[in-house]
C-alpha cells in the first residue's frame, strides 16, 4: 500500500510553492492532491527531480468556442511534451508535473508571450475578487446608512439594540471587506510579477543570488541602521523593502553605514542653498520623481550607493565609509505616515470616520 503524507502549507506566490513541491519530490514525496488551497497530499516514491507548473482556465459568462476548448487543448499540448495534469484546487488552479530530463524539454512555458498570458490571467483573477469585495462593502455601507437617513427618532423611545448591532456589524464588515479588497489588489501585482518571470532560468538566478526575506516592524531610522548593519556584518545587502518586509541578497562587499533620505530633507537642503522647495500641487499621490532624482545625484557626489526606495517616500543609501553618511540622513525618523503610505492613511481615516458615524448613530437611537 502506498504511503500517503498530509502537509499543511500556505503560499503567497506559486514560485515558492513550486520550489517546495520540487524539494519534496527530491525527498521521495510526490505531489498528488491539494484541498482548500493549503492541505497537500503526497505519495511516497523513490526520490526524483520533478518539475511542477500551474495554470487556470477561467470562463467568461458567455464564452466563445475557443475559450471553451482552451483547457482541453492546453492539456493535450502539455501531454505531448511530457507534462501530466495532477489535480486542481477549489479555485480551479490546475497543477502539472513532469520528471526532469537532461537535455530535454523541461519548460511548459518557454516564451514571453505564454508567460505574459498566464500572468495576465492571475492578475485579472485577483483584481476581480478585489473589485467584488469593494462592491460588497459599498452595498453593506448603503444598507447601513439608508435606515438612518429615512428614519425619525423619538427621544422617549427605548434603545433599538437590533438596529445598533446591525450598524456595528455594517461598519465592521465594510472595514474588513475593504482591507480584504486591498489584500487582493496587492496579490494581483505580486502574482503578476511572480508568474511573468517564473522560468527555470530566473528561478536558478534567484537561488544563486541567495535572496531571502525577513519581516520586521521598524519605526525609526536608528533602528533601521542597526538592522541593516547587522545584516551587513553577515555579508547581506538590502535589495527591497515594504511596510514590514525586507529582502536581502548575498554580497561580497557590504556597506558599513546606512542613511535615509526623504523629500522634506531634500527641501531643507535646497532652502539652505537659497533654492525653492520642490512643489507640485497636482501631485497628490507623490508620483513625481523630482526629489528622488535630486537626492540620488546628491548622494552620488558624496559616494553613497542607492539600495532601494520605499513607497515613493524614502530612499535608503549605504556607504563603505562611516564618515560619508550625512548627519541628517542618520537622524531622520520613519514617521507613521511614511510607514502606512497614502492607502493606509485613507483606510485609517475611513475607519475613524466609520467609528464616529456608528457612535453617533447608536447615540441617536435613544
Model confidence at 205: pLDDT above 80: no
pLDDT of residue 196: 80
CB 89 within 8 A of CB 35: yes
pLDDT of residue 156: 43
User: 89 or 366: which carries more pLDDT confidence?
Assistant: 89
Confidence of residue 304 (pLDDT cuts 50, 70, 90): very high
pLDDT of residue 287: 62
Distance CA 213, CA 59 (A): 36
pLDDT of residue 366: 46
Model confidence at 102: pLDDT above 90: no
E-strand ranges in the chain read: 4-8, 29-35, 39-44, 50-56, 84-88, 93-99, 212-215, 236-241, 245-250, 257-261, 305-310, 314-319
E-strand ranges in 175-296 read: 212-215, 236-241, 245-250, 257-261
Query: Which has the minimum average pLDDT: 34-43, 108-117, 337-346?
Result: 337-346
Q: How many CA atoms lie within 13 A of 325 on its CB side?
A: 24
Model confidence at 101: pLDDT above 70: yes
Q: Which of 291, 242, 241 is nearest to 267 (CA)?
A: 291
pLDDT in tens, 164-181: 666 777 778 888 888 898
Give the cell for residue 144.
447601513
Distance CA 260, CA 243 (A): 15
Q: What is the mean pLDDT of residues 293-318?
A: 88
Distance CA 82, CA 66 (A): 24
Cβ contacts of 340-343, under 8 Å, gap ≥ 24: 340/243, 341/243, 341/311, 341/313, 342/285, 342/286, 343/182
User: If you average pLDDT over every residue of the chain, what do you get?
Assistant: 81
The angle at the Cα of 11, spanning 8 to 12, to the nearest 5 degrees, equals 155
Confidence of residue 59 (pLDDT cuts 50, 70, 90): confident
Burial label for 98, CB within 10 Å (0-12, 13-18, 19+), is buried
* φ/ψ bin of 5: left (φ > 0), alpha (ψ from -120 to 50), beta (otherwise): beta
pLDDT of residue 314: 85
Confidence of residue 209 (pLDDT cuts 50, 70, 90): low
pLDDT of residue 238: 92
Model confidence at 264: pLDDT above 80: yes
Model confidence at 336: pLDDT above 50: no
pLDDT of residue 203: 61
Q: Express as a percent the part of the chain with pLDDT over 70.
A: 79
Amino acid at each position: 500500500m502506498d504511503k500517503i503524507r498530509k502537509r499543511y502549507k500556505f503560499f503567497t506566490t506559486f514560485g515558492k510553492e513550486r520550489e517546495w513541491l520540487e524539494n519534496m519530490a527530491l525527498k521521495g514525496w510526490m505531489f498528488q492532491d491539494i484541498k482548500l488551497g493549503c492541505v497537500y497530499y503526497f505519495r511516497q516514491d523513490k526520490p526524483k527531480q520533478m518539475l511542477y507548473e500551474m495554470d487556470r482556465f477561467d470562463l467568461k459568462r458567455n464564452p466563445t468556442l475557443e475559450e471553451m476548448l482552451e483547457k482541453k487543448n492546453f492539456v493535450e499540448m502539455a501531454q505531448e511534451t511530457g507534462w501530466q495534469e495532477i489535480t486542481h484546487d477549489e479555485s480551479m488552479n490546475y497543477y502539472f508535473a513532469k520528471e526532469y530530463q537532461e537535455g530535454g524539454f523541461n519548460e511548459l512555458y518557454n516564451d514571453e508571450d505564454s508567460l505574459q498570458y498566464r500572468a495576465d490571467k492571475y492578475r485579472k483573477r485577483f483584481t476581480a475578487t478585489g473589485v467584488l469585495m469593494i462592491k460588497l462593502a459599498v452595498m453593506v455601507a448603503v444598507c447601513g446608512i439608508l435606515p438612518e437617513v429615512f428614519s425619525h427618532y423619538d427621544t422617549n423611545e427605548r434603545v433599538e439594540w437590533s438596529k445598533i448591532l446591525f450598524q456595528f456589524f455594517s461598519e465592521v464588515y465594510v472595514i474588513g471587506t475593504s482591507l480584504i479588497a486591498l489584500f487582493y489588489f496587492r496579490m494581483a501585482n505580486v502574482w503578476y510579477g511572480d508568474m511573468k518571470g517564473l522560468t527555470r532560468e530566473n528561478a536558478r538566478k534567484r537561488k544563486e543570488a541567495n535572496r531571502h526575506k525577513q519581516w520586521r516592524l521598524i519605526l525609526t531610522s536608528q533602528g533601521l541602521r542597526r538592522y541593516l548593519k547587522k545584516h551587513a556584518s553577515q555579508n547581506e545587502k538590502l535589495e527591497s523593502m515594504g511596510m514590514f518586509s525586507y529582502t536581502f541578497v548575498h554580497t561580497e562587499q557590504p556597506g558599513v553605514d546606512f542613511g535615509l533620505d526623504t523629500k522634506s530633507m531634500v527641501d531643507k537642503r535646497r532652502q539652505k542653498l537659497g533654492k525653492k522647495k520642490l512643489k507640485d500641487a497636482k501631485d497628490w499621490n507623490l508620483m513625481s520623481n523630482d526629489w528622488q532624482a535630486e537626492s540620488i545625484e546628491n548622494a552620488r557626489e558624496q559616494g553613497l550607493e542607492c539600495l532601494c526606495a520605499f513607497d515613493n517616500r524614502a530612499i535608503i543609501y549605504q556607504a563603505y565609509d562611516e564618515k560619508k553618511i550625512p548627519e541628517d540622513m542618520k537622524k531622520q525618523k520613519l514617521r507613521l505616515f511614511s510607514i502606512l503610505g497614502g492607502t493606509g492613511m485613507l483606510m485609517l481615516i475611513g475607519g475613524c470616520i466609520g467609528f464616529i458615524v456608528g457612535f453617533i448613530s447608536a447615540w441617536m437611537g435613544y
